[in-house]
A = this chain, B = another copy of it.
Amino acid sequence: MSHKTYVHGYSKRESERLSDQAQTLTALLHGDTWYSPGSQVLEAGCGIGAQTVILAKNSPGAYFTSLDISADSLQRAGLTIKNEGITIVSFLQGDIFHPPFEPETFDHVFVCFVLEHLAEPQRALERLRLLLKKGGTITVIEGDHGSTFFHPDSQYAQKAIDCLIHLQRDAGGNALIGRQLYPLLVDAGYSDVQVSPRMVYVDASRPALVEGFTKLTFTAMIEGVGDAAHRQGLITKEEWEQGIRDLYRTAEPDGVFCYTFFKAYGIRT
């Protein structure tokens, strides 16, 4: 399928991008995620293990089962975890919609940057809920590309971002899913749902984020869909190049860049 050429996470540069992103954002996104010693945690959709390493380091007494549909990603995740000397993670290949587990197997479920790629995110959350013991929790983290704004403002940069939103929608995903976590978790049957926004605010006083987020994470991600956007005729080459230039422009000393992730908790009652 044509969208396979665009979905992020599968090329070498994309992998490096995800790794940069994970390091820069660890404190903001994961600082308040930890699991009690002895708890059984399912990481649904672990990809190449960028979050797995953080999870395992934050909760060295817990046991993690990290599921992914891609054997290639799992192999790389396994290598990363091994290189870190981490032994509390088991990897398993499988489909989030047909998870290879008995009901009520886990104390906690963790889902990060996965729902955005699914055509049926609510159904995925419903399936995962059945895997939780009563009283168990789910933690979900997703971005929202529609939350992006910056200075100087630029219609071309916005148009380039809209290309990614469009392509992700064509591929059955939803790049605006962050803002929808509250109704999604409630409708999937979770209780006591709480959502907190995590804005990445970047100005010149935060040079690590200028490099690690504005340039290496967000703008690199947008750049990655340039060919697909051109092939589909979503934008002219000139507009695209101006848009990318304008995104890098926000990383100059007088520029500002804002993007919001959302983190949601819910309980299976």
Contact = CB atoms under 8 A, between A and B. Distances in A.
A201 interface: yes
Given A144-B149, A182-B205, 14 more contacts: A146-B149, A146-B153, A147-B149, A147-B258, A149-B179, A151-B179, A151-B180, A179-B258, A180-B256, A182-B256, A193-B205, A195-B256, A196-B201, A197-B258
Contacts of A255: 183
Contacts of A194: 205
A72 interface: no
Contact of A182 (B149, B204, B260): B204
Copy tally for this chain in the complex stands at 2
Interface in A185-215: 186-187, 193-197, 199, 201, 203-205
8 smallest beta-carbon distances between A and B, as pairs: A183-B254, A182-B203, A197-B201, A151-B179, A197-B199, A179-B256, A151-B180, A146-B149
Nearest to A264: B203
Nearest to A200: B197
A174 to B, nearest CB: 11
Contacts of A183: 151, 203, 254-256
15 contacts: A144-B149, A147-B149, A149-B179, A151-B183, A153-B176, A182-B256, A183-B203, A183-B254, A186-B254, A193-B205, A194-B205, A195-B203, A196-B201, A197-B201, A197-B258
A63 interface: no
Contact of A195 (B144, B186, B201): B201
The contact size tier of chain A is: 20 to 34
Nearest to A177: B151
A87 to B, nearest CB: 38
Nearest to A182: B203
Nearest to A181: B256
A150 interface: yes
Contact of A254 (B150, B187, B254): B187
Q: Counting chain B CB atoms within 10 Å of each CB, which of A149, A150, A153 scores highest?
A: A149
A258 B256 contact: no
Contacts of A203: 182-183, 195
